Chain A
Amino acid sequence: MSGKKKKAVREQLTATVFLLPSLIGLVLFSLIPLVFSLFISLTDWNFLNGMGSWNFIGLENFLDMWTDEWFLASLKNTFIYTIVVVPIGLFLALIIAALIDSFISDRLANVLRVTMYMPKICNIVASAAIWIMLYSTYGPFTQLMRLLGWENPPHFLASYTWALPAIMLMSIWSGLGYHVFIYSAGMAGISRDLYEAAELDGAGAIQKFWYVTIPQLRPTTFFLMITGIIGSFKVFGSVNVMTQGGPGHSTYTLVYYIYKSAFSYYNMGYASAVAVILFLILLVVTLVQWKHNNGSSD
């Protein structure tokens, strides 16, 4: 009995040692910062005034932001970006993965997927820099548009209307290969029996895609959608390199606004409040995911 108890104590100690590095990290870099963020978001703190020189202003930051046109623009742009980039990216990837799955031999399929994946492993600054050049007035993309009959294509990244879509196009390009990969892996997991059964029922390629592939891929689609939404809400790099939020605030996004407020103007209080809003949005998305996952595993 006491030997067992001793063993339990020892195991407890061992576990503590194993968990220690991770726990220290959790407390220092996640829990304390979280609490500090929440606190700072209730103050008017400017970093330049130094530690401690903050006034508690309650929810003022959270009320003020709804009349702050830059915040509203950031929020709106982030939503538009997400609503456009995620579905289009997933849809394209699904079609491509399905085509690869049904028509392409395994070897070529792998080459194709790896090729399409390359934009994803390119660092965001290089991708953005390349697209800046492609989009420039005499850049290949703009020239291509001319060739396709667009008489006076704008300077895409300097246009109020076109800057955000231009960034979105780059993001879709950048993420497509990853989505294709995951969809292909999902398709590989679909039982061939289902297709054969569908064939016996007289289903053609389109019907099989619609009635077998898409429903079977629902978990994959859901996973990609959630991670896609979370990633989109954090969009920052492309904006910072390509447009710096401009022209005007036409490409401001939430994280870019947080970055600007915190590290250009040092308005840590206000920036934290915006970060809390981002946190709350992501929280809702994650909770939906959890609810869904728990529901489906029962």
Chain B
Amino acid sequence: MAKEQSKLKKKSPVPKIVWSILLILFALLMITPFLWMLSSSFKLERDVMKFPIEWIPSNPVLNNYKTVLHIGVKSKNYHFLLAYANSIKVSILATLTSVLSAMLAGYAFAKLKFKGSNVLFIIYLMQMMVPSQLTLIPRFVAFSELGLVNTHFSIIAPKIISVSATFMMRQAFMAVPEELRESAKMDGAGEWKTCWRIMVPQIRPTIGAMTTVAFLDNWNSYLDPLVFLSDWRLMTLPIALNQFVSEEGSKYGLISAACCLTVIPVFIVFLVGQKFFIKGLTVGAVKG
């Protein structure tokens, strides 16, 4: 104990440097799989499994990417550019649906007085406990009966109810001073206008954070699209990649290229917008 204390008092820079180096190495180790994947994606098949690893390919090739993107190769039953378009479409629509619906409901719970508000709130709370894996089968049955399997609608529509998003919106709206709303209404603004023009701008950071997190969730969503989308023309990226991996099996260079295509743009978006992500992640997680 005495020894540690004296170390602290001296504030020797040594532990700081040592731990910095160790943690940097650890962080690098964490992303090594991605670095390896990136390097493999430019390698010939026979070079991928060489050991020790050639981090910079000795015979760099673009063939893997050409094959994956169908440049000069006949189309098989996957198409990554199409999957990109699908993923973008589905993620944007699903995110808008969930955020808007949660925003409206959150506003009602936070600011409007209505009969049954408490009971409804408890029902919402209880819904949180129902895992989407349990409702998946009925949703599948219903959508197949309606002929809606193999539509993007089947993935987007259920996002209209997001209880956790509703709660976060409610929390955020509750933190906005009631006077703002009152004075807007004094000026003759209706509820709708008050909500949209006065209240929503006040919680912009929360909305931004939630939107980024919801978007990422939708972008990476796996189980639902796997069940609902079997037509390759409709597949989102994870599902297209899934299909690709199960078809191309042991062609590791190809698979690496396909993985890079699905992952690297997300990394770039993440690195650029990290502030939002980080806020979104910690919202609700840490209670004061």
Contact = CB atoms under 8 A, between A and B. Distances in A.
B231 to A, nearest CB: 15
Contacts of B115: 12
Contacts of B108: 14-15, 18-19
B112 interface: yes
B77 interface: no
Given A123-B262, A206-B4, A259-B223, A116 B135 contact: no
29 contacts: A11-B113, A14-B192, A18-B104, A21-B104, A24-B160, A26-B161, A33-B138, A96-B26, A99-B23, A103-B15, A108-B24, A115-B31, A116-B27, A116-B30, A123-B237, A124-B238, A129-B245, A129-B259, A131-B33, A138-B49, A139-B49, A223-B287, A234-B133, A258-B136, A262-B136, A263-B140, A263-B227, A275-B136, A278-B133
Contacts of A204: 1, 3-5, 7-8
Nearest to B144: A47
Contacts of A22: 101-102, 104-105, 160-161, 166
Contacts of A206: 4
Nearest 6 A/B pairs, CB to CB: A204-B4, A25-B161, A25-B160, A33-B138, A33-B135, A15-B114
Interface in B215-268: 216, 219-220, 222-223, 226-227, 237-239, 241-242, 245, 250, 252, 255-256, 258-259, 262-263, 266-267
A248 interface: no
B255 A133 contact: yes
A114 interface: yes
Contact of B285 (A185, A271, A279): A185
Interface string A98-138: 01100110001001101111110111111111111110101
A226 B114 CA distance: 33
B30 to A, nearest CB: 5
A40 interface: yes
A57 B190 CA distance: 55
A15 to B, nearest CB: 4
Contacts, number: 279
Nearest to B160: A25
B200 to A, nearest CB: 12
Contacts of A133: 37, 40, 48, 252, 255-256
Interface stretch (A68-76, A83-91, A152-160, A172-180): A172-180
B62 interface: no
A182 B19 contact: no
Contacts of A8: 113
A189 interface: yes
B165 to A, nearest CB: 9
Contacts of A166: none
Contact of B137 (A21, A103, A237, A275): A275
A81 interface: no
